[in-house]
Structure 1
């Protein structure tokens, strides 16, 4: 498997619960078999689904890991050949690490009981 560019809309350090309300995004290049995942954070001028979609296209993203996403934007990204793993609730780094291991699925909730993150 080749390296993939992944984008995660952010709310603080977590996957944003809503795609259209993210004011920042994390972009990472995930290479199978590598431990370290270098990331870059981007601030969006204002929260909007269009802004996140524009960033996806500008950064040549292969995969979007997000929380809730409107059907219109889901289908738009799929039409642009971007894989979308939606309804994910997790700290962003935990979701990214799970994705790198090939273990992240749409709908995953990766918060442990008691507030610490699941691994």
Structure 2
């Protein structure tokens, strides 16, 4: 069994780990192609509480946007695999991870630059 945590903001990966107040936890069991999905609303944004949740719930993978070096190092030391600087839809990030195609730094969609001239 593998547990993946993604801090979210709306439908996107939260831009900052320490400001997320919602997370998605995906639980992938061997032989089951569709992971179980749980959404949790946190009482407040707190990197310390997220770290505690990750470690106490046995999360093995963290997919996130920006994360401070201190928390990155701590979670890595605790053997959590971190794919950081991911930008875009959390659903797309989850799907790509499950397919083995997600890397740290991936930009999963580009926003249109409306009203901008090419000149």
Cα distance change of structure 1 residues 90 and 32 upon mapping to structure 2, 3 Å threshold = farther
Q: Is the 8 A contact 1:32 1:101 kept in 2?
A: no
SS at match of 2:105: coil
Aligned counterparts, 1:9-24, within 5 A: 9-24=7-22
Query: Are 2:65 and 1:71 aligned?
Result: no
Query: 4+ residue runs of structure 1 moved beyond 4 angstroms?
Result: 31-34
Q: Distance in 2 between matches of 1:36 and 1:23?
A: 25
Bigger radius of gyration, 1 or 2? 2
1:60 to 58, 61, 82: 58
1:1-119 equivalent positions in 2, closer than 5 A: 3-31=1-29, 34-114=32-112
- In structure 2, what is the Cα distance between the partners aligned to 1:86 and 1:38? 22
TM (normalized to structure 2)? 0.87
Aligned length: 113
Superposed CA RMSD in Å reads: 1.8
C-alpha change, 1:113 and 1:10, in structure 2 (3 Å) is closer
TM-score normalized with structure 1 length = 0.87
